[in-house]
């Protein structure tokens, strides 16, 4: 032991096992305290007091606190600004260091720098550790010593560097210290309300993560590559919210993917590291195109079309079903995230930043790095992005990935009686068939708000600006 007291500040790592900062603190200090802060800088910017993410965090904290109490400790939960609350707690407890797992978002890095400066004024160190990524910082670089900006070479370098040590479990056994009189405030006390997590079947905390992981591991994992693109099939892991808030470890999942030789799923986990790396090294992607030339695109001002997209009333069934899914449960299938992002940017010609912001407000698994990376991929403005001239056709995407319209019917019930051959483009039905089925386009379901073929022509013209050489 090198110090008497230490504090572990939990953030997006709400578990007490396989936890890098907790492991380091237990190995270096005689007494280890644990804390979480409801950051008012973040909470006050949220658009609703019924935020599923805040509810998920709160419920997960209750479970984490229980687990820590089983080990003689507890979770000290604060509410306020981090540069004020964390140093004050650290000074009050008399710790010599605060241990945290690294966060790669620009605002989080600024926050940690500010906290570290205040702590240093008290003679307390802020020690950071890699936990939510397999590799971070400068661990994966090109031969010229620069960050990768294309995924496949990054993946190959990632796999070449990977060893069993990189996915080894961090030991966290040991007795913890408690702070008598401390208790977790209610949701109401921090200004929020309970949501519909239980009705939606979203299990929280480490136990919820373990149950979801077991269901995926023993079920779709072996066939992930063939099932993952079909939204009507339970072929994905549904673990994104648990990865986002760290109720299970990325090392556990990568290790299992390697053991199962689940290459398609491992690929998705590597994309997660890739987008963390991009955000860490290229913070300008927040608010700007990764490729600056794409900031010159003149996006269309179409507020009514944007509202129709948000509400799932575009007249394109797969797009509408996907948007109604995110509005209903705060989650969207990954294939559909690509479809709706392409539709917004390349059918409607609307700035990807508006879609990115809408997803940020709606998604329970919102992660800045992946959300930004996905939107810039769809808009062709990001690293290793979809070429601008490749434009998803929302009808053919629907025919390919929801052939019987099962997913569409789940979220667009007004189309329930439409035959399979017309479910993807119901406006093509004869008028008499529309009347007979009680699905008159323009009355019972919207007519398409844009003609895809015409939109494609306009998009290619809009993107021409990125091909023109800069003026001398």
Three-state secondary structure along the chain? CCEEEEEEEECCCCCCCCCHHHHHHHHHEEEEEEEEEEEHHHHCCCCCCCCHHHHHHHHHHHHHHHHHHCCCCCEEEEEECHHHHHHHHHHHHCCCEEEEECCCCHHHHHHHHHHHHHHHHCCCEEEEECCCCCCCCCCCCCCCCCCCCCHHHHHHHHHHHCCHHHHCCCCCCCCCCCCCCCCCCCCHHHCCCCCCHHHHCCCCHHHHHHHHHHHHHCCHHHHHHHHCCCCCCCCCCCCHHHHHHCCCCHHHHHHHHHHHCCHHHHHHHHHHHHHHHHHHHCHHHCCCCCCHHHHHCCCCCCHHHHHHHHHCCCCCHHHHHHHHHHHHHCCCCHHHHHHHHHHHHHHCCCCHHHHHHHHHHHCCCCCHHHHHHHHHHHCCCCCCCCCCCCCCCHHHHHHHHCCCCHHHHHHCHHHCCCCCCCCCCHHHCCHHHHHHHCCCECCCECCCCCCHHHHHHHHHHHHHHHCCCCCC
Q: What is d(CA 188, CA 9) in angstroms, rounded to the nearest whole number?
A: 23
- Reference 89, options 144, 133, 38, 33; nearest CA is 33
Catalytic residue among 9, 309, 375, 377: 375
Q: Give the whole-angstrom CA distance, residue 221 versus residue 214.
A: 10
**Of 17, 96, 267, 299, catalytic:** 299
Catalytic residue of the set 327, 334, 399, 458: 334
**464 included as an active-site residue:** no
- Of 352, 356, 372, 377, catalytic: 352
- What is the C-alpha separation between 389 and 72, in angstroms, rounded? 59
- Choose the catalytic residue: 96, 268, 414, 458: 268
Look up 30 and say whether it is catalytic. Answer: no
- The answer to whether the CB of 463 falls within 8 A of the CB of 342 is no
Q: Is 268 a known active-site residue? A: yes
Residue showing tokens 């991929």: 377
Find the catalytic residue in 158, 170, 271, 331.
271
In this structure, how many other beta carbons lie within 10 angstroms of the beta carbon of residue 2?
Answer: 10
- Is 158 an active-site residue? no
Catalytic residues: 268, 271, 299, 334, 352, 375
């Amino acid at each position: 032991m090198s110090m008497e007291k230490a504090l572990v500040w939990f953030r997006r790592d709400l578990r007490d096992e396989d936890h890098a900062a907790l492991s380091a603190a237990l190995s270096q200090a005689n007494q280890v305290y644990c804390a979480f802060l409801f950051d008012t800088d973040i909470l006050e910017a949220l658009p609703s007091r019924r935020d599923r993410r805040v509810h998920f965090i709160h419920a997960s904290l209750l479970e984490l606190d229980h687990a820590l109490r089983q080990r003689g400790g507890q979770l000290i939960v604060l509410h306020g600004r981090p540069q004020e609350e964390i140093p004050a707690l650290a000074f009050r407890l008399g710790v010599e260091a605060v241990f945290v797992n690294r966060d790669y978002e620009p605002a989080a890095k600024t926050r940690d720098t500010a906290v570290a400066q205040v702590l240093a004024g008290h003679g307390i160190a802020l020690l950071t550790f890699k936990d939510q990524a397999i590799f971070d910082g400068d661990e994966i670089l090109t031969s010229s010593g620069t960050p990768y900006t294309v995924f496949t070479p990054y993946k190959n370098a990632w796999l070449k560097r990977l060893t069993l040590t990189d996915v080894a479990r961090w030991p966290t056994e040991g007795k913890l210290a408690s702070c008598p009189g401390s208790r977790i405030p209610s949701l109401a006390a921090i200004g929020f309300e309970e949501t519909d997590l239980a009705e939606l079947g979203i299990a929280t905390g480490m136990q919820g993560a373990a149950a979801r992981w077991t269901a995926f591991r023993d079920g779709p994992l072996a066939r992930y590559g063939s099932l993952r693109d079909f939204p009507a099939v339970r072929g994905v892991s549904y673990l994104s919210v648990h990865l986002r808030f760290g109720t299970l470890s990325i090392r556990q999942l990568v290790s299992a993917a390697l053991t199962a030789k689940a290459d398609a799923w491992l690929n998705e986990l590597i994309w997660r590291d890739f987008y963390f790396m991009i955000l860490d090294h290229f913070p300008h992607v927040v608010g700007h195109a990764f490729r600056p030339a794409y900031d010159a695109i003149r996006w269309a001002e179409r507020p009514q079309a944007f509202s129709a997209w948000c509400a799932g009333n575009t007249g394109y069934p797969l797009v509408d079903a996907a948007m109604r899914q995110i509005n209903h449960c705060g989650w969207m299938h990954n294939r559909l995230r690509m479809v709706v992002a392409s539709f917004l940017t390349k059918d409607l010609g609307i700035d990807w930043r508006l879609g990115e912001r809408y997803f940020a407000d709606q998604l329970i698994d919102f992660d800045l790095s992946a959300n930004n990376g996905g939107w810039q991929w769809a808009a062709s403005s990001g690293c290793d992005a979809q070429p601008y001239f490749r434009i998803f056709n929302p009808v053919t995407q629907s025919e390919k990935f929801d052939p019987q319209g099962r997913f569409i019917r789940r979220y667009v019930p007004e189309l329930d009686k439409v035959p399979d051959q017309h479910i993807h483009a119901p406006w093509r039905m004869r008028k008499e068939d529309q009347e007979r089925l009680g699905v008159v386009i323009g009355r019972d379901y919207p007519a398409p708000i844009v003609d895809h073929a015409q939109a494609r022509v306009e998009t290619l013209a809009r993107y021409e600006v990125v091909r023109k050489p800069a003026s001398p």
